[in-house]
Amino acid sequence: MTDFWLHPSLIMIIGALLLPFVPRSMKKGYLIAVPLAGFFNVWLGMSHGIHGVVQFLDWHLIFGRVDRLAQVFGYIMTLMCVIGTCYGLHVEEDAQHIAAWLYVAGALGVIYCGDYLVLFLFWELMAFASVFLVWFRRRPQSPGTGYRYLLVHTAGGLLLLAGLVLRYKVTGGDLSFGAIGVDNPQLYTYLIMCGFLLNAAVPPFHAWLPDAYGEATVSGAVFMCAFTTKTAVYVLARGFAGMEILVPLGVFMALYGVVYAVLENDSRRLLAYHIISQVGYMVAGVGIGTELAINGVCAHAFAHILYKGLLFMGCGSVLYMTGKSKFSDLGGLYKKMPLAFVYTLIGGLSISAFPLFSGFVSKSMIVAAGFKSHMLWPSFLLTLAGAGTFLHTGLKVPYFIWFGKNNCSPETWEKAQDPPMNMQVAMIAASFLCILIGCYTPYLYSMLPYPVEYNPYTAYHLSESMQILLFTALGFFLLTKKLAPEPTISIDMDWFYRMGGRIFLWLASKPIQWADNCVSEAYRYLGLIQLMTISQFWSWFDWNAIDGVVDGVASSVRTLGGKARQIQSGQLQYNIFYAVSIMAVLLIAYVLA
């Protein structure tokens, strides 16, 4: 370590801004050099302590708070940026790489921030940069999916903003980001936590995740699966360790994601639902809050970024080569894509906590922390969720894509082959790390924030895990026909706000608009009797405020209702402007009161 410190987000932002000016002959080398510079900067060039303090008005903004908790997340996120960029080297469109790098910059900015103002700045950068990874797929449903994603994250950002403003008032101007008193939570505690939990995809506010990740570009989904939810896990671990409500929420997430993953027909949506399940382990670990649990949260986030990225790369390579991602359109591809099968299988064994693979040495640490804290039911239920993980990701994904019944059309079968070399190199790197972590635990355990006194390779844990895995495998092969994929759609909790959105749209466009028109006509009549000043003011207020808010909310709700087909930048700015303005006015009024 040296005393020199350079923010890794700055490397990614400058690299993204300079990318369009790099000659084509040097572009691939540049694409690898920039994330490598960010990775080596985190690995070798960052000393612990407070760095990058900037005076802004009356506040001291801290852009660099480096400690062991931040470093383990910074290390794996910059490493995943290298792997993800290598996977997407074949993409010719600069804008996709720029969006991905700005997205990574936002995540790293949150990881190393020391106050809420800097956190909020980079939190919003993550949301606005990542949405382009959905829009750049350019399918008819991409605009609506991306817009819903952006609206949900804007709502989460407003909750976070409300919480930090209230906390600023209550604490007398304290903006520092650290552990929040979970023993005596206040309103701002829950507002900030809800803003974080929305990015962690905690049900019922989770439908944005399979919706967006399943629709993202092939390389964009690899980035998205690694950063948003794990950044949320980091801020929860930093601020809410020991918050007991997180334990049942995490357990519910673990089971809920498993159920919907089993029902899913689309391979990338299945993986997206299972992110909810795996993040549930981490959220529960934060709720347990002991040193062993927080170590488990960090270890599992580290391992999850690698094996989930590997799984998205494997299924993405199938989509890239064949144009298909649904199990009912695939099958028998082991003859055409054998290497992609091997890489995806390694990811499946890792996520299933198979011995000698990464998930075995990380997931079990959280469960062990639960038993050690005498939280028996949560620990047993998390163990049960592990069986479901092996059922759908360790068995269903590889079986119905590479084996099973061949449902490929002649055109799909003809196009199928192993992906380009850059995609394979990325998958080889992720596969190697998944095995390395599982076989050589000091590589990961030495990075964790607290000293590790845990050995996953005990006779009891090995026998328990193998029994669960073998009985799950037996059940899968006995019930293979029952689990065969069908081209169906599973109704999720987003149905409620989609239908509610349509009801609100009717109310806004019918009775509310009728009342608004009546009031306008009344003031026009008053204007005829020489009250022109009042009439003119009301006309301005009606046009710029009431109609603006109604139209803005209506168009936003229309998108949530699933009817949007086009995105107009002016309309998007219009809606966000009014939503933020109303919230800002209310918060300022409270602070000044």
**Which of 300-314, 327-341, 515-529, 574-588: highest mean pLDDT?**
300-314
Q: Which two tokens stand for residue 459?
A: 């006779």
Burial tier of 110 (Cβ tally within 10 Å: 0-12, 13-18, 19+): buried
How many distinct structural domains can be found in the chain?
2
Please give the backbone phi and psi of residue 289, each rounded to the nearest 5 degrees, phi first.
Answer: 80, 0
pLDDT at 1: 38
Mean pLDDT taken over the chain: 85
Strand partners, 59: 56
Q: Do 310 and 425 fall into the same domain?
A: yes
Write down which residue in 435, 451, 480 finishes a domain: 480
Q: Is the pLDDT of residue 392 over 90?
A: no
Residue 174 falls within a domain, yes or no?
no
Q: Is the pLDDT of residue 310 over 70?
A: yes
Residue 254 falls within a domain, yes or no?
yes
Q: Do 332 and 296 fall into the same domain?
A: yes
Residue 453 falls within a domain, yes or no?
yes
The pLDDT confidence band at residue 256, using thresholds 50, 70 and 90, is: very high
Q: Do 458 and 505 fall into the same domain?
A: no
Write down which residue in 456, 480, 504 finishes a domain: 480
Q: Do 504 and 453 fall into the same domain?
A: no
pLDDT digits (tens, 9 = 90+) for 371-388: 999 999 999 999 989 888
Q: Do 329 and 397 fall into the same domain?
A: yes
Q: Do 438 and 390 fall into the same domain?
A: yes
- Residue type at 348? G
pLDDT digits (tens, 9 = 90+) for 403-453: 888 888 888 888 889 999 999 999 999 999 999 999 999 999 999 999 988
pLDDT at 592: 42
pLDDT at 477: 84
Residue 169 falls within a domain, yes or no?
no
- Residue type at 98? I
* Angstrom distance (rounded) from CA 412 to CA 585: 55
* Angstrom distance (rounded) from CA 428 to CA 439: 16
pLDDT at 590: 40
The pLDDT confidence band at residue 584, using thresholds 50, 70 and 90, is: very low
pLDDT digits (tens, 9 = 90+) for 117-165: 999 999 999 999 999 999 999 999 999 899 889 989 999 999 999 999 9
Q: Do 525 and 380 fall into the same domain?
A: no
- Helices 547-560 + 569-592 axis angle, to 10: 120
Q: Is the pLDDT of residue 188 over 50?
A: yes
pLDDT digits (tens, 9 = 90+) for 75-128: 999 999 999 999 999 999 999 999 999 999 999 999 999 999 999 999 999 999
Q: Which two tokens stand for residue 532?
A: 């022109």
Q: Do 585 and 507 fall into the same domain?
A: yes
pLDDT at 583: 43
Q: Do 466 and 509 fall into the same domain?
A: no
- Residue type at 591? V
pLDDT at 194: 94
Residues 6+ apart with CB under 8 A from 139: 215
* Angstrom distance (rounded) from CA 325 to CA 312: 11
Determine the structural domain holding residue 555 and report its residue range: 495-592
Q: Provide the percentage of residues in the chain whose pLDDT is more than 70.
A: 87
Residue 564 falls within a domain, yes or no?
yes
Residue 333 falls within a domain, yes or no?
yes
The pLDDT confidence band at residue 576, using thresholds 50, 70 and 90, is: very low
pLDDT at 2: 41
pLDDT at 499: 79
pLDDT at 547: 52
Contact between 127 and 153 (Cβ < 8 Å):
yes
* Angstrom distance (rounded) from CA 133 to CA 373: 41
Phi-psi region at 52: left, alpha or beta (left = phi > 0; alpha = psi -120 to 50): left
DSSP of 244-307:
TTHHHHHHHHHHHHHHHHHH--BHHHHHHHHHHHHHHHHHHHHHH-SHHHHHHHHHHHHHHHHH
Q: Do 530 and 444 fall into the same domain?
A: no
pLDDT at 484: 75
Q: For the ranges 7-21, 58-72, 282-296, 515-529, which has the lowest average pLDDT?
A: 515-529
Q: Do 388 and 532 fall into the same domain?
A: no
Q: Provide the percentage of residues in the chain whose pLDDT is more than 90.
A: 57
Residue 442 falls within a domain, yes or no?
yes
Cis previous bond, 204, omega within 30: yes
- Helices 246-263 + 376-389 axis angle, to 10: 20
pLDDT digits (tens, 9 = 90+) for 453-492: 899 999 998 998 999 999 988 888 887 777 777 777 777 7
pLDDT digits (tens, 9 = 90+) for 541-571: 555 554 555 455 555 545 555 444 444 444 4
Q: Is the pLDDT of residue 577 over 50?
A: no
Average pLDDT over residues 349-355: 92
Burial tier of 190 (Cβ tally within 10 Å: 0-12, 13-18, 19+): middle
Write down which residue in 480, 510, 542 finishes a domain: 480
Q: Is the pLDDT of residue 512 over 80?
A: no
Residue 205 falls within a domain, yes or no?
no
Report the predicted TM-score, pTM, of the whole model to 2 decimal places. Answer: 0.87
Q: Do 460 and 332 fall into the same domain?
A: yes
Average pLDDT over residues 37-56: 87
Q: Is the pLDDT of residue 298 over 80?
A: yes
